[in-house]
Structures are given as C-alpha cells and as structure tokens.
Amino acid sequence: MSLKANLQTIRAGIETACRRCGRDPRTVRLVAVSKTKPVSLIEEAAAAGQTLFGESYVQEFVAKAEAIALPLEWHFIGALQSNKVKYLRGHTALIHSVDRYSLAAEIDRQWASLEEPAAILIQVNIGEEASKSGTTAKELEELVRRVSLLPHLRIRGLMTLPPYCEDPEEVRPYFRSLRQLALTIEELKLPGVAMEELSMGMSHDFAVAIEEGATLVRVGTAIFGERERN
C-alpha cells in the first residue's frame, strides 16, 4: 500500500472510532510518528495532507526539521535527556514525554527567552513497567504541582505508552486509567495546568484509545511501514 493510502485508512479509522463513541473527529489529531524514516517520506506524507509529525530522537529530529522547509508541526515524543533539551528549543509545538521535575526545569530554563511558554504533557507509566519511562500514577499529582510552578511552561495533558498487548481490548483499562488520572488532576484547578490533551494509542490500538478519550494518537508503523529499529 502507498503512504497516501495508509494515511487515508488511518483517517477513516479515526472517524469510525469517533462515530462509534459519539465524538467529533476534529477533537482527535493524528501524530504521524516518523522516527527513523527519511525526509522524503515525511514530505510524501505532507503532500498527502499530513501536517503533524512526532519524532523520538533529538539529533535525528533536528536534522530533519532543518532539512524540511514546509510549515509542519513537530511534537517530541521520545525519552529526553536534560542536556539535549536545548536543541528542541523553539522547534517543538508539544513535548509529550516529560516524566521528571529536573527535565521540566530544564525545559523551563531553555524556553525562558522565547515568547511562548513550552507546551508539555506529563508521561505516566500507567502499567508500571520497569522498561518504560513515565512517572507513576501515585507520584503524578506531586509532580504536576511542582512543575506547574515553573513560569515558562504549560502542562496541557497526559501521555502514556501502555504495555503491549496483541488484543487492543486488553489495553483499554490502561487508557481508561490515564483518562481518570487526567480528570483527577483537572479537579485540582492548578494555574498553568489544563488537561486538554490525552496522548495515547498507536498503530494497533488507536481506535480503542479514541473510545477512551485520546485527543492525540501517535501512529508510525501503520503509516510509514515497519521500522528497522525503534
């Protein structure tokens, strides 16, 4: 299948999932995860109408963003070391993967000289897997409270990478838990914190994620094909 056809299939899948649960399809945005994929494929996706892309590796991302002149929206979704935050400054519309205070503080420091605050999501390790990043559900509130005091960033929601399950139905409870956590945080009514975005769902489970409230689905393989590495 062509990349264009893949995108059409995903968009149709998003609409179907929205219709099934009575949501407006405009409330769900597709993040095309282009990590490890060449600039030529990103341009091909852009030509097919895709404007929002997600990348996971800082150097790779910066090289691609500089090579592409199109007005694309870039989200950073990968594990992030504090000493690399400076390379993202001004290039990303949203960082999905903030999982600790020291990282948030460095983003705050780097964004201090820009006009707009950094928009971030807090990553939650909802399945509490040792192999995955993310704060725990238990520590989330404390982290959000501390990060919300940083002046140059805004917490816009939560992100999760749940355990992998063949059957997307088995992932549903994790998506539901993330939504529940977002509702709990929303009720705290903290300044600078808005639970507008739920970043959850990937190639094989985005439909279930949408039914559970996802506003950003991060889809790589189903658009660009298999990756040789992750």
Binding residues vs ligand PLP (CB under 6 A): 33, 35, 56, 77-78, 161, 202-203, 218-222
Hunting for tokens 């985005």 — which residue is that? 206
> 12 or 114, CB closer to ligand PLP?
12
Q: How far is the CB of 20 from ligand PLP (least distance, A)?
A: 20
> 1 or 69, CB closer to ligand PLP?
1
> 210 or 219, CB closer to ligand PLP?
219
> 65 or 214, CB closer to ligand PLP?
214
Encoded amino acid at 228, one letter: E
Hunting for tokens 């998003």 — which residue is that? 14
Q: 66 CB contacts (<8 Å, ≥6 apart)?
A: none
Q: How far is the CB of 184 from ligand PLP (least distance, A)?
A: 23
Helix, strand, coil distribution of the chain in percent, nearest 5: 45, 20, 35
Please list the residues that pair with 198 across neighbouring strands.
Answer: 158
Q: How far is the CB of 197 from ligand PLP (least distance, A)?
A: 14
d(CA 51, CA 31): 9
> 60 or 186, CB closer to ligand PLP?
60
Q: How far is the CB of 186 from ligand PLP (least distance, A)?
A: 23
Q: How far is the CB of 89 from ligand PLP (least distance, A)?
A: 21
Picking from 85, 86, 90, the residue whose alpha carbon sits closest to that of residue 117 is 90
Tell me the residue number closest to ligand PLP, measured at CB.
Answer: 220
Cα separation values, 187 from 49, 73, 154, 190, Å: 37, 30, 16, 8
Q: How far is the CB of 160 from ligand PLP (least distance, A)?
A: 9
Q: Chain centroid to CA 30: how far?
A: 10
> 95 or 195, CB closer to ligand PLP?
95
Q: 208 CB contacts (<8 Å, ≥6 apart)?
A: 17, 168, 169, 171, 172, 175, 201
